[in-house]
Amino acid sequence: MENFTVGIVVFPGSNCDRDVSWALEGCLDIRTKYLWHESSDLSDVDAIVLPGGFSYGDYLRCGAIARFSPLINALDDFVKSGRRVLGICNGFQILTESGFLPGALTANKNLNFICDDVELDIVSSKGGWFNDEGEKQAIKLPIAHGEGRYHCDSDTLEKLVDNELIALRYKNNPNGSSFDIAGITNEKGNVLGLMPHPERACDETIGGTDGLFTLKSLILK
Amino acid sequence: MDKFAVKVFVRLRPSVLDPAGEATKSASIKLGAERIKSLRIGKMIEVKIEGNSENEVREKIDLLCDRLFANTVIEDYEYSLEKL
């Protein structure tokens, strides 16, 4: 595990890349490496985080342009190999735009940019991203987004429910997301996308440690 | 080679809530347009493109609309095309 390296993708406009690195290196002693979006060589990383921010200025739609970067083109083989990919906030938007996860994220119902702590129910721990053992079935994580309203058609929602692909649901839906969805996985479970920021909840001194489990699970095989 | 001017309209699907449209509708009503029944906001993208035929250009524009201009999970698109 000593050599396990998490690649953190940096797009023009990413702004949570350093937060993720701080949380992984400083709180969990997991080695990280920044990956510029123009790189397509993913051979020396064992897991990937697509961090939050405003990739390419979120022009056209959030995540729409990032989808065409060389790195995202290389991500298909990486995901197929079973290695883990975590998309946080803008990273989640990129994963839906590029088809790694179903549905889409669009403007919050109240049109506000919402910056808050939210209570979340752990619905499924497919892929081992969340601790669903014992009594801790709910966590609190920060959100910070203007376009976090998850939307999908009814067939997709049924598939998400039936296959236990919904990872997190808001207790008090802040943005109008369908079915209170805050995070989903792919069928295999190795790709997780979520709007809340686990990397901002990794130290008691900044308000909580409920994000540690998810970041730590990047090193699961 | 011919030149074409294309106007692409991207709209949120009818089933998708448009909060910006709702806010603009409410502001319109405050301006005195009480009879507004519906207001939804989309995007218009203007493209100038060269091609050997209208069909060739339509193929390219279809691809751009489907893969880039619109996210068909939440948006519909249509376009008009004019030979210059």
Min distance A193 CA to chain B CA atoms (Å): 17
Q: CA-to-CA distance for A100 and A97, rounded, in angstroms?
A: 8
The separation between the first and the last C-alpha atoms of chain A, rounded to the nearest angstrom, is 11
CB atoms within 10 A of CB A110: 13
Supply the pLDDT for residue A132.
77
- The closest CB to that of A151, out of B16, B23, B68, belongs to B16
Contact criterion met (CB below 8 Å) for A92 and A49 = no
B71/A176 touch (CB, cutoff 8 Å), yes or no: no
Q: pLDDT at position A221, please?
A: 77
| A62, closest residue in chain B (CA to CA) | B71
Residue A15 in 3-state DSSP? coil
What was the pLDDT predicted at A8? 98
Among all residues of A, which ones are annotated catalytic?
A: 89, 197, 199
Say if B68 is an interface residue toward chain A (CB within 8 Å). Answer: yes
- The answer to whether A12 and A55 have CB atoms below 8 angstroms apart is yes
Amino acid at A68: F
pLDDT computed for residue A115 by the predictor: 96
Record: contact A111-B19, CB cut-off 8 A: yes
Among A104, A109, A152, select the one facing B17 at the smallest CB separation: A109
How many CB atoms are closer than 10 A to CB A166? 22
Sign of torsion over alpha carbons A71, A77, A168, A129: negative
Instruction: Look up residue B30 and give its two tokens.
Output: 């405050």
Low-confidence ranges of chain A (pLDDT < 70): 1-2, 134-136
ipTM of the modeled complex: 0.82
pTM score, two decimals?
Answer: 0.93
Q: What are the chain B neighbours of A153 within 8 Å (beta carbons)?
A: 15, 73
What is chain B's pLDDT, residue by residue, as a tens digit (84 residues)?
999 999 999 999 999 999 999 999 999 999 999 999 999 999 999 999 999 999 999 999 999 999 999 999 999 999 999 999
Residue A70 to residue A73: CA distance in whole angstroms: 5
